Chain A
Amino acid sequence: MKHGEKTETYGRLVWRRFRRSWLGMAGFAVLIGLAIVVLLGPFLAPMNPDARLTSYQPPSRIGFDAQGLFALNAMPTGQDDPVTLQPLLSISNAAKVRLTILAPAEPYRLLGPVVLNRRLIGPAHLGERVHLMGADRFGRDIFSRGLVATRVSLLLALTVVSLTTVVGLLVGATAGYMGGAVDRWLQRLVDVLLAFPQLPLYLTLGALIPVTVSSGLFVTILIATLSVLGWAGLSREIRGKTLMLARMDYVRAAIAMGADDRRIILHHIAPNLMSHVLVSFTLSLPTIVLLESFLGFLGLAVKPPMISWGLMLQDVSGYSAIGSYPFILSPVIFVFVTVFAFNAVGDALRDAVDPY
């Protein structure tokens, strides 16, 4: 009971200050949306993310008439563009594809053992299509893939940031509290990691890891690499903060009370570091999301059948396609929205976490 009351009081103070930032609140709303997408992604997707239809099908036009929502997919007109020699598309002779709620679908796995055969919104009949953001090189629906990829991209970032936070916190707090030789050696290690040229390493890894490696192993390697290289910055911040906190009068008072190191760290230093860690956690997530999509663009992305935003952007690296089909860049929208939301929440949190 005592514990609950404590967190509630602190939490309430933070929440009151957090609410003052409308940007933070907007970001928070988006994060809730993202959490729903992570849980229900395949159900929210209007199409089967792996179904291959027409390559580079441009985005459908969505309309509304007496019978409800419909989509128009551009069809070849039979003529070719005189410059690019690509077939010209037009929606003038397109048939209306009706969209319904709880549309039928081939059975798919939503989460764990849950198998569904309905989608929230989709074409009324199996075999029909709707592409909100167009289709990729293999004719797969980009929007549906983006929704489904949210799970992998966010969980990957969450795993990496969780690992770097825990390691950074432990190393930083140890170095800051113990001082002396331990601190000196840990700081040199941090120096080395911070000075490490990361980009060449990623490129090398991309080239070195055999194509035959399973997607699970590949993700593990990716997470491990990002985590090993990622904790150094946070550990340095935490070290500085611990140094400062260890000099606070209340720590001195606790020593005068006979408290041992364990108690001082757990009761007096750690709780006061948490606000900093929370903010750092929120602000690191978007950098990993960005890094993942960037690495995907360079070729170091998760392997199919997994889908991540990075993997989707890999397709974009065939530059010639961007000119003709700019819509294949649209996975960037997912990255953008996510990064914005986390940054907005992180900024608002930073202003809010020290209410005293």
Chain B
Amino acid sequence: MTPSIPTEGQHLLEACDIAVAFSIEGGTVEAVRGVNFHIDRGETLALVGESGSGKSVTARALMGLLGRKARLAPQARVILNGQDLPVRDDRRMRGVRGRTIAMVFQEPMSSLNPMHSIGAQIVEAIQAHARTPRREALARAHELLAEVRLPNPEALLDRYPHELSGGQRQRVMIAMALSNRPALLIADEPTTALDVRVQAEILELIKDLQKRYDLAVLLITHDLTVVRSYADRIAVMRQGLIVETGPTAAVLDAPTHPYTLQLRDAEPSGYAEAVDVEGQAAILEARGVRIVYPGRGKSPPFVAVEEAHVTVRRGEAVGIVGESGSGKTSLALALTRLAPITAGEVSFDGTRIEALTRREMRPLRTRMQIVLQDPFSSLNPRLSVQALIAEGLIVNGIGRTASERLDKVRQALSDAGMRQDILHRFPHEFSGGQRQRLSIARAIAVEPELLVLDEPTSALDLSVQAKILETLKDLQKRRSLGYLFISHDLRVVRSLCQRIIVMRDGAIVESGPTRQVLENPQSDYTARLVKAAFQVRGA
């Protein structure tokens, strides 16, 4: 299609007074409450906000993809190339979606149909909007895959989604989005599910394609580092409203709205305070740990971790970083004896624990605790807050009377930054961040000496993450806790941990004091990780 050349002063897309309400049990929720913005050709507008701020709903409203329970306000208008889009007419929007406006979603795993080959899916996207002979469409699909810089596009056409990595799948999604030469690309958290390095590559790709096709990009994200590097303008959303908008650098360097300031300062930054651990005994010491998952049937055994050495001293925070599949969670679970160890030595406060049974481990359990990644599956939905946190006390016979235990529960709650009046409430009544605090409270209630944290903040909003990191730092100081902190986010690790271990494919590639490793990485891999995490494009 040949879009009309926009006249002087006319924007590619104008969103006027977008307001969306969802009907729920017992009323309506106004998810978006009157949002105005515009996007020009060749420009990237970043829509930034925390979960629940309405940014994804706004994007879906532009596409006419709101669903049955949502109601778009009657005064809301979307103007594309000077013409009103029929956003309330699903049938007519079909001609717009994927043709003039295309979308890339967060989850590349579920956005592709596992039953069809990559080639077939791209061909389908092409043929949905134009009568194209199959041969021609296939040639075009081939071209698109090359364009998104996928290696060996010819062979890829016949492959299936499960044979591709997350990053490759996201490239395929972008290829599909570009198949009809859209004028506007909506990218809804396109890299959140990907590793840092892959994330940078995908964003670079979008930037290049944007230049080549004079594409307008609406980038929805919560990551301000991404915004800084890739967006021309920024619109900050909060509770369904845009609170501040303007050129990226101007807004982020000198925010006028307190919320923008708060968001910006929630970015983890700086190095963790140095802790004097000289002469402190190691609370956890592991030598040559090897973890092998036995193969099933014909599949060969899988080596998850090899030759890992880890030392955590009292009061010290040690970070394990690595991309997904690097074996960091396997290692953490094995060190706490929640997963089997194949070989190696693990000592906890001088006691060898690698061969202990679950029963023999019990006396040590109160001294080492773990906080798991997913705040939604790590709390039993049927137990009240009080029962959840008191469990460790009851199991280990801490506190003689119920009231003594209750005092400890209250203390743990307040240490984890939660109010006291929630004892009889249930996990489902809390947000992700609050649930993670409950997990932390449960762990610290038994007064451990070592706390293992497996990606405790990766499912949370930045501002929530910042508060939890504060809490952790505070606890470390007051209780002289040792942390083994697992994360894929170097910035978080930098701000919390004194020492850092970098893992790749089950092996430790580098370890040492955080500042030394990050500023002077010895391995190529670490250097690339650091670059991807901290780089600011064009700077």
Contacts and interface: CB of A to CB of B under 8 A. Distances in A.
Contacts of A253: 370, 372, 378, 439, 442
B378 A250 contact: yes
A271 B388 CA distance: 14
Most chain-B CB neighbours within 10 Å: which of A9, A248, A249, A267? Answer: A249
A267 B372 contact: no
A253 B336 CA distance: 11
Interface stretch (A123-131, A254-262, A294-302): A254-262
Contacts of A257: 365, 369, 391-392, 395-396, 442, 446
A255 B428 CA distance: 22
A258 B378 contact: no
Contacts of A252: 333, 338, 370, 372, 378
A268 B391 CA distance: 11
Given A248-B377, A258-B361, A272 B446 contact: no
Given A2-B386, A267-B383, A256 B369 contact: yes
Contacts of B379: 250
Contact of A272 (B382, B386, B428): B382
B365 A256 contact: yes
Most chain-B CB neighbours within 10 Å: which of A9, A10, A252, A256? Answer: A256
Interface string B356-398: 0011011101101110111001111111101100011001100
A81 interface: no
B453 to A, nearest CB: 12
Interface string A330-356: 000000000000000000000000011
B426 interface: yes
B395 A356 contact: no
Contact of B391 (A6, A9, A267, A356): A267
A352 to B, nearest CB: 12
A271 B382 contact: yes
A184 interface: no
B424 interface: yes
Contact of A6 (B370, B372, B374, B384): B384
Nearest to A1: B424
Interface string A238-281: 00000000001110111111111001000110011000000000
Contacts of A5: 384, 424
A203 B255 CA distance: 83
Contacts of B374: 249
Contact of A256 (B336, B382, B387, B427): B336
Contacts of A6: 382-384, 387
B428 A356 contact: yes
Taking residues whose C-beta sits less than 8 angstroms from the other chain, chain A's interface range is 20 to 34
A52 to B, nearest CB: 56
Contacts of A10: 382, 426
A305 B368 CA distance: 67
A256 B380 contact: no
B391 A254 contact: yes
Contacts of B359: 260
A249 to B, nearest CB: 4
A8 to B, nearest CB: 10
Nearest to B445: A257
A259 B428 contact: no
B380 A258 contact: no
A267 B381 CA distance: 11
A290 to B, nearest CB: 33
Contacts of A355: 428
Contacts of B395: 254, 257-260, 263
B358 A255 contact: yes
B454 to A, nearest CB: 9
Contact of B380 (A255, A260, A267): A267
A310 to B, nearest CB: 39
Given A250-B377, A257-B392, A258-B362, A2 B382 contact: no
A250 B370 CA distance: 11
Contact of A259 (B373, B387, B391, B426): B391
Given A253-B378, A256-B336, A257-B391, A9 B426 contact: yes
A232 B426 CA distance: 34
B382 A258 contact: no
A355 B25 CA distance: 13
A265 to B, nearest CB: 13
A18 to B, nearest CB: 13
Interface in B203-233: none
Interface in A1-33: 2, 5-6, 9-10
Most chain-A CB neighbours within 10 Å: which of B359, B378, B391? Answer: B391
Interface in B64-86: none
Most chain-A CB neighbours within 10 Å: which of B333, B338, B382, B391? Answer: B382
B336 to A, nearest CB: 6
A252 B371 CA distance: 10
Interface in B429-461: 439, 442, 446
A250 B365 contact: no
Nearest to A7: B382
Contacts of A2: 384, 386-387, 424
Nearest to A268: B380
Contacts of B378: 248-250, 252-253
A250 B446 contact: no
A248 B338 CA distance: 13
A168 B335 CA distance: 37
B399 to A, nearest CB: 14
Given A249-B377, A250-B378, A253-B442, A258 B396 contact: yes
A253 B440 CA distance: 11
Contacts of A263: 395
A30 to B, nearest CB: 26
A258 B372 contact: no
12 contacts: A5-B384, A6-B383, A9-B426, A248-B378, A249-B377, A250-B378, A254-B380, A256-B370, A257-B396, A259-B395, A355-B428, A356-B427
Closest CB pairs A-B (n = 6): A258-B365, A249-B378, A356-B428, A271-B382, A258-B362, A257-B392
Given A257-B392, A258-B395, 12 more contacts: A2-B384, A5-B424, A9-B426, A249-B373, A250-B377, A253-B439, A253-B442, A254-B380, A256-B336, A257-B395, A258-B361, A260-B395
